[in-house]
C-alpha cells in the first residue's frame, strides 16, 4: 500500500524514530560536505499551496535539490485546488508526472482525498487539523538539545490548533507528556486528544499558563489566529490575553527549559521578542530543522 504522511497518527513510533535518525544523519553528512545527490536523482516533488509559506516552501524545495531531485511550486493561483477541477482528478494527474506530492491546504479532508487517489506519496505540509512536518522538525530540535525525548514535559501555550494537534501525536508516539494552557473554548480537538490517550499518551488541558509552565522542559507557542482565521484576529487577541510566552513563564519552567515557536511569530502577542531571543529559545534551530526532518521524510517515502 502507498505510504503517505497525512498525520503522525498513521506512523508507528519506530518509523518516526528511524526518520529522525535519518534526518540527523543527513544533517551531519551535509555539514561534513558529503553529497546526497543520488538519493532523489531524477525525481520531482509537486508542492501544492492553498496558503502562504516561508519555511515549508523553501525547506522542501531546498531539501529536494540537496537530495538531487527537483521541486515544482504550484501556488494558490495555479491549479486552484478545489475550484478548477476535482481533488481526485488533480491527484491522479499529478501522480502521472511526479514522484511525490506535498500539499498545504485548508481542510484536512483535501489531504485525505489526495492520499486516497494519488499513486505517489502525499505529504501534509499543513492542514487546518495537522502540521506533521513541523512536529518532526520540533522533535529533532528537542532531541538535539536534550539528547532524550522520553519522559520530557512539553507545555503548549495558546490555541489548540494544527500545530498543537501534531505535537500531541508526536508526544504520544515518542513518550513525552503534553500539556496545554488555553482560554476556554480553544482546547485541542477532542478526537485528536482521545486518539493520543488511546496510544498511552498524556494530554492535560489547563487554563492557567503559569500552572502549565511550572516544571516544563519545553515551552511552545504558535499564533493566536492561524491562516484562514484572519477575520477573528482581534476577537482572538482579546481571548488570549495573559497567554503570552514571556520571561516570567520561562522562570516558572524547569531548569534548562527550551522555548519553541513554529514561526511566523507575532511578537508581543503569543511570545515576547525578549523570550524569543532568550538563551532558552531554539526557534531558529527549529526552523532550520524543518529542512533536515523533511529530507528524512522525503528519503523514506520517495528515495
Ligand atoms: N512553520 C511553518 O510552517 O512556516 P511557514 O508557514 O512559513 O511554512
Ligand atoms: N497555526 C499556524 C501555523 C503556521 C505555521 C497556521 O495554521 O497558520
DSSP string, 205-223: EES-HHHHHTT-SEEEE--
CA atoms within 13 A on the CB side of 179: 22
Mean pLDDT across the stretch 259-280? 98
The runs of H, that is alpha helices, within 53-182 are 55-66, 87-97, 108-117, 132-146, 162-174
Question: Mean per-residue pLDDT for 16-32?
Answer: 98
How far does the centroid of ligand 2 lie from the alpha carbon of residue 265, in Å?
10
Q: Which atom of ligand 2 is nearest to the CA of 229?
A: 8
CB atoms within 10 A of CB 160: 21
Q: pLDDT tens, 62-88?
A: 999 999 999 999 999 999 998 999 999
Q: Which domains does the chain have, with CATH numbers?
A: 8-131+290-302 (3.40.50.1370), 134-286 (3.40.50.1370)
Nearest atom of ligand 2 to the alpha carbon of 222: 1
For residues 42 and 20, what is the distance between their CA atoms, to the nearest angstrom? 24
Residue 179 is predicted with a pLDDT of: 98
Cell of 39: 538519493
Question: Which residues lie across from 104 on neighbouring strands?
Answer: 49
Average pLDDT over residues 259-266: 98
Which three cell numbers mark 37? Answer: 545527490
Mean pLDDT of 269-274: 98
The H or E element spanning position 155 is strand 153-157
Distance 59 CA to ligand 1 centre (A): 10
**The three three-digit cell numbers of residue 180, written as one number:** 496545554
- Give residue 82's pLDDT: 84
Q: What is the mean pLDDT of the chain?
A: 98
All 3 cell numbers of residue 228? 484562514
**Is 57 noted as a catalytic residue in this protein?**
no
Q: Is residue 56 in contact with ligand 1, taking CB distance under 6 Å? A: yes
Q: What is the pTM of this model?
A: 0.98
CA 210–ligand 1 middle distance (angstroms): 27
Q: Using the structure block, give the residue that is written with the C-alpha cell 528511524.
A: 18
41 lines ligand 1 (CB under 6 A): no
Q: Are 188 and 126 in contact (CB under 8 A)?
A: no
- The whole-number average pLDDT for the span 218-230 is 98
pLDDT in tens, 274-293: 999 999 999 999 999 999 99
Ligand 1 binding pocket mutation candidate from 290, 291, 297 (most atoms within 8 A of CB): 290
* 104 carries an active-site annotation: yes
Ligand 2 proximal residues by C-beta, below 6 Å: 126, 161-163, 222-223, 226-227, 262
Residue 138 catalytic?
Answer: no
Find the 1 Cα to ligand 2 centroid distance in Å.
30
* Selected catalytic residue, list 4, 165, 179, 290: 290
Q: What is the pLDDT of residue 60?
A: 98
Grid coordinates of 107: 481542510
- The protein residue with its alpha carbon nearest to ligand 1, atom 6, reads 53
CA of 174 to the centre of ligand 2 (A): 23
Instruction: Name residue, grid cell 540537496.
Output: 66
Greatest CA span in the chain, whole angstroms? 54
Q: Nearest Cα to 131, choosing from 25, 22, 8, 294?
A: 8
Q: In this predicted model, what pLDDT tens digit does every residue of 96-126 receive, in sequence order?
A: 999 999 999 999 999 999 999 999 999 999 9
pLDDT value for 270: 98
262 in contact with ligand 1, CB cutoff 6 A: yes
Considering the candidates 66, 134, 195, 286, report the single residue annotated as catalytic. 134
Query: Closest Cα to residue 158, out of 187, 134, 135?
Result: 187
Show the CA angle centred on residue 287, arms to residues 13 and 155, nearest 5°. Answer: 60
**Would the CA dihedral through 240, 55, 163, 250 be positive or negative?**
negative
3-state secondary structure of 78: coil
Amino acid at each position: 500500500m502507498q505510504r503517505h504522511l497525512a498525520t503522525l497518527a498513521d506512523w508507528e513510533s519506530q518509523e518516526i524514530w528511524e526518520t529522525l535518525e535519518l534526518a540527523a544523519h543527513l544533517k551531519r553528512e551535509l555539514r561534513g560536505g558529503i553529497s546526497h545527490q543520488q538519493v532523489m536523482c531524477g525525481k520531482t516533488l509537486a508542492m501544492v499551496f492553498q496558503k502562504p509559506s516561508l519555511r515549508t516552501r523553501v525547506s522542501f524545495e531546498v531539501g529536494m535539490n540537496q537530495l538531487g531531485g527537483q521541486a515544482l511550486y504550484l501556488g494558490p493561483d495555479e491549479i486552484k485546488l478545489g475550484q478548477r477541477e476535482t481533488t481526485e482528478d488533480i491527484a491522479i494527474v499529478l501522480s502521472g508526472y511526479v514522484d511525490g506530492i506535498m500539499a498545504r491546504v485548508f481542510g484536512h479532508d483535501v489531504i485525505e482525498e489526495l492520499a486516497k487517489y494519488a499513486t505517489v506519496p502525499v505529504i501534509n505540509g499543513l492542514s487546518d487539523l495537522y502540521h506533521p512536518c513541523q512536529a518532526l522538525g520540533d522533535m529533532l530540535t528537542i532531541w538535539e538539545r536534550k539528547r532524550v525525548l522520553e519522559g520530557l514535559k512539553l507545555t503548549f501555550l495558546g490555541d489548540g490548533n494544527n500545530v498543537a494537534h501534531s505535537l500531541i501525536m508526536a508526544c504520544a508516539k515518542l513518550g513525552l507528556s503534553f500539556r496545554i494552557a488555553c482560554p476556554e473554548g480553544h482546547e485541542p480537538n477532542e478526537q485528536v486528544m482521545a486518539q493520543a490517550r488511546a496510544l498511552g499518551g498524556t494530554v492535560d488541558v489547563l487554563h492557567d499558563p503559569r500552572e502549565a509552565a511550572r516544571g516544563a522542559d519545553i515551552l511552545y507557542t504558535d499564533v493566536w489566529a492561524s491562516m484562514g482565521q484572519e477575520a477573528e484576529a482581534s476577537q482572538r487577541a482579546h481571548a488570549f490575553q495573559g497567554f503570552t510566552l514571556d520571561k516570567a513563564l520561562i522562570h516558572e519552567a524547569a531548569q534548562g527549559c527550551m522555548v519553541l515557536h513554529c514561526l511566523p511569530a507575532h511578537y508581543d502577542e503569543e511570545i515576547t521578542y525578549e523570550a524569543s531571543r532568550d538563551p532558552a529559545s531554539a526557534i531558529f534551530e527549529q526552523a532550520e530543522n524543518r529542512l533536515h526532518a523533511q529530507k528524512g521524510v522525503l528519503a523514506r517515502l520517495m528515495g
